[in-house]
Amino acid sequence: MIGLEISHVSYSYGSRKALDDVSFSVAAGRFCALLGPNGAGKSTLFALLTRLIVTGEGHIGVAGFDIARAPRAALARIGVVFQQPTLDLDMTVRRNLRYFAGLHGLSGRPAGLAIDAALAQLGMAERADEQVRALNGGHRRRMEIARALIHGPQILLLDEPTVGLDAASRQAITDHVHLLAERGLAVLWATHLVDEIRPADQVVVLHRGKVLSDGGAEDLAGGQGGGHGLAKAFLSMTAEGREVPA
């Protein structure tokens, strides 16, 4: 089943073209890394997928709903973790999530159940009554991912979710989100870090607003040992003349 479909999407800020005829899709149950250097257009694409901005060029389908024609139905099926954290540090984890559940029309026992389930999926159940301020950066991020799951989305969007985290936290979050994909979510994970990508993942390379490649991570690495092969392929596609270490 198709989770997310992006077809011939373009977007410009004034005369600057940020996305140029972008097409790819992410099926339910797939982890897709949107790999691109700074300025590639990743955040612009996320803004279009969440209707922060709109474009007349191209089509975006979310779990079968056209985001332009049926925005409410489409957005209800998306969970999103933006680059900038947006948590209330002085509330507990549960209070933060209850507030967000309310925005989705969930309250009372159904909200409590949804919050418990989401926290459990991120290994955060025992932190529910802690103040967010007391959590480390990795746990705060996991909580934001749990928050994005409360309303039962089919698509999960994460914009560079591991920025600023230490290696162990990055690993834990990457593991958790891969598990969410295995359980059926279509995951779009924007990053410029190849070590967050697994051999079975889909990788879309975005550079200067264009899709340079779309396929399996193993194929992109060209059989050259996972992360190293991927890094080489990514750099040679995007570095434009910079030396790529052997």
Ligand X SMILES: Nc1ncnc2c1ncn2[C@@H]1O[C@H](COP(=O)(O)OP(=O)(O)OP(=O)(O)O)[C@@H](O)[C@H]1O
Instruction: For the CB of residue 14, give the shortest distance to ligand X in the complex, in Å.
Output: 7
Coil, strand or helix at 183: coil
What are φ and ψ of residue 125, in 5° steps? -55, -40
Distance between CA atoms of 26 and 2, rounded to whole angstroms? 7
Q: Report in angstroms the alpha-carbon separations of 63 from 16, 72, 142, 194.
A: 30, 12, 24, 27
Least separation in angstroms between CB 88 and ligand X: 25
User: What is the CA angle 159-165-194, rounded to 5?
Assistant: 60
When the beta carbons of 159 and 201 are compared against ligand X, the nearer one is 159
* Alpha helix stretches (DSSP H) within 10-92: 42-49, 71-76
Q: Is 84 in the site for ligand X (CB under 6 A)?
A: no
Strand partners, 188: 32, 157
Q: Which stretch binds ligand X (CB under 6 A): 33-41, 68-76, 128-136, 175-183?
A: 33-41
Question: Can you say whether the dihedral through the CA atoms of 21, 216, 192, 66 is positive or negative?
Answer: positive
Regarding 40 and contact with ligand X (CB under 6 A), the answer is: yes
Please report how close the Cβ of residue 202 comes to ligand X at its closest, in angstroms: 18
Q: How far is the CB of 114 from ligand X (least distance, A)?
A: 30
What CA–CA distance (Å, rounded) separates 15 from 128?
A: 47
> Applying CB under 6 A, which part among 11-19, 54-62, 74-82, 119-127 lies near ligand X?
11-19
When asked if residue 44 is in the footprint of ligand X (CB under 6 A), the reply is: yes
Chosen residue from 36, 61, 138, 229 binding ligand X by CB under 6 A: 36
Selected range binding ligand X among 40-48, 64-72, 109-117, 227-235, rule: CB under 6 A = 40-48
Applying CB under 6 A, does 232 fall inside the site for ligand X?
Answer: no
Q: Which of 39, 152, 215, 222 binds ligand X (CB under 6 A)?
A: 39
- Closer of 14 and 223 to ligand X (Cβ): 14
